Amino acid sequence: MSIDLHTHSNFSDGTMTPTELVALARSKKISALALTDHDTMAGTEEAILAGTEMGVEIIPGLEISVLYGQVEYHILGYWADPHNSVLAAALARLQGARDARNAKILEKLNELGIPVTAEELQLVSEQGQTGRPHIARILVQRGVVRTMSQAFEQFLRKGTAAYVSRFAYSAAEAVALIRQAGGLAVLAHPAQNDLELIRLPAVLADLVPAGLEGIELYYPTHSHKVKKKLRALAGEHDLLLTGGSDYHGEVRPGTTLAGGGNVFVPPELLDKMKERLRLRG
C-alpha cells in the first residue's frame, strides 16, 4: 500500500475536487494523501472531511513556487497551520500577484488576436486560484493549440509572446514561512529543472540552515541515478525523504496517483515526518 504526499485539486491547477481526489485515493488503496495545492490551503478542510468519511488519512499541505537566484524551485509544506496570520498574508500576496499576471496575459492574448475575457477565465477556474494552466485550457478549447503543453510552449512560458512574470518569494523566505506556521518544509522534485543535480548541493547548503527539513525522493520522473544522489545528499543533511505523484488530473493525460504502476511511496516515510514534528515540540 502506497501513500501520496504531492497532489493538486481544482483549488489550484488540478481538475478534481478535493473530495473526488480522496475518493480516487481510496479506490487505489492509498492510506494517506497530502493535498498540496499551489500557494493555497483553501481545499484542506474539504479534503479532511472527505478523508474522515472515506478512511483516508489527509495531511494538510501546500506547494509554493519560489526563486533561488534566478531559478524557479518549488517548496512543499506539510502540517502548516492554514489559519496562521503570517502565512495567510504571504499567500494572499501570492494570489494577488497571480491575479495581476492573469490580467496582463489576457491583454497580451487579445493584442495577438486571441480574445479571452476575465469572465471566461473565471468560468474555467470555477474556484480557488486561477493561473496559466486555466488560460492554457481555454486555448485548447478554442482550438488555438492542440494541447496544454503546446499552449505553454507557444504562448505562456518565459520568452513567449504572452508570458508575464510575477512576484515570487525566495526559497529561504518560503521555508521560513512554512516553518513559522508549524509545518515541515520539503524541496519538491529537485531534478525537474536540474537534471544532473549540479546546483542542488549549493541549494541545500543554503536552505537547510534556513529550516528545510526534507527532500522529495519518490517522483514519477526521478531515475534510479537521481534517487541515489538524492539519498546521499539527504543523508549528509539529515533530511527527511518524501514522495508523491504530483497528480493534477485531466490536464496531464495518462497520469494517476501513487501506487500500482506509478511511483510507489513507502508509508513509513510518513511516520518519520510525524516523529520529526513531535521531536520539534
Residue 163 lies in a domain: no
Residue 127 has pLDDT above 80, yes or no: no
Q: For residue 91, give the nearest of 64, 70, 72, 68 by alpha carbon.
A: 64
Looking at the fold, whether 118 and 66 belong to one and the same domain comes out as: no
Same domain, 42 and 113: no
Q: How many domains does the chain have?
A: 2
Task: Give yes or no for a contact between 246 and 189, defined as CB atoms under 8 angstroms apart.
Answer: yes
Q: Are 51 and 84 contained in the same domain?
A: yes
Q: What is the pLDDT of residue 251?
A: 72
Domain contains 40: yes
Residues 184 and 73 in one domain: yes
Report pLDDT for 58: 98
Q: What residues form DSSP beta bridges with 34? A: 59
pLDDT at 179: 97
The predicted pLDDT at position 103 comes to 94
C-alpha dist (Å) from residue 55 to 26, 29, 64, 89, 179: 8, 10, 28, 32, 28
Rounded to an integer, what distance in angstroms lies between the CA atom of residue 188 and that of residue 76?
6
Q: 69 Cβ partners below 8 Å, 6+ apart?
A: none
The domain boundary residue, chosen from 134, 156, 178: 156
Instruction: Give yes or no for residue 50 having a pLDDT over 80.
Output: yes
Instruction: Give the least confident one: 129-133, 209-213, 222-226.
Output: 129-133
Instruction: Assess whether 192 and 226 both reside in one domain.
Output: yes
| pTM of the entire predicted model | 0.91
User: Do residues 96 and 86 make contact, with C-beta atoms less than 8 angstroms apart?
Assistant: no
Q: With bands split at pLDDT 50, 70 and 90, how would you rate the model's confidence at 252?
A: confident
Q: 244 and 126, same structural domain? A: no
Q: Which domain holds residue 178?
A: 4-90+170-280
Do 207 and 276 lie in one domain? The reply is yes
Together in a domain, 61 and 194: yes
Based on the fold, state whether residues 175 and 71 are members of the same structural domain: yes
189 versus 149: which is more confidently predicted? 189
CATH of the domain at 264: 3.20.20.140
- Lookup result for grid cell 478534481: 16
Per-residue pLDDT, averaged over 185-192, amounts to 96
In sequence order, the 6+-apart residues with CB closer than 8 A to the CB of 243 are: 5, 6, 216, 217, 218, 219, 258, 263, 265, 266, 269
Tell me whether residue 95 is in a domain: no
**Tally of CB atoms within 10 A around 3:** 27
C-alpha 207/C-alpha 256 separation (Å) is: 31
Whether 221 and 191 have beta carbons less than 8 Å apart is answered as: yes
Q: pLDDT at position 247, please?
A: 96
245, amino acid identity: S
Task: Examine residue 43 and state whether it is found in any structural domain, yes or no.
Answer: yes
Same domain, 112 and 201: no
Do residues 177 and 149 share a domain?
Answer: no
Read off the pLDDT band of 129 (50, 70, 90): confident
Helix (H/G/I), strand (E/B), else coil: 51: helix
- Residue 124, domain member (yes or no): yes
149 and 251 inside one domain = no
> Does any domain span residue 119?
yes
The whole-number pLDDT of residue 149 equals: 86
Q: How confident is the model at residue 172 (pLDDT cuts 50, 70, 90)?
A: very high
pLDDT, tens only, 56-97: 999 999 999 999 998 999 999 999 999 999 999 999 999 999
What would the pLDDT profile of 197-220 be if each residue is shown by its tens digit? 999 999 999 999 999 999 999 999
Residue at 72 is within a domain: yes
137 — pLDDT class (breaks 50, 70, 90): confident
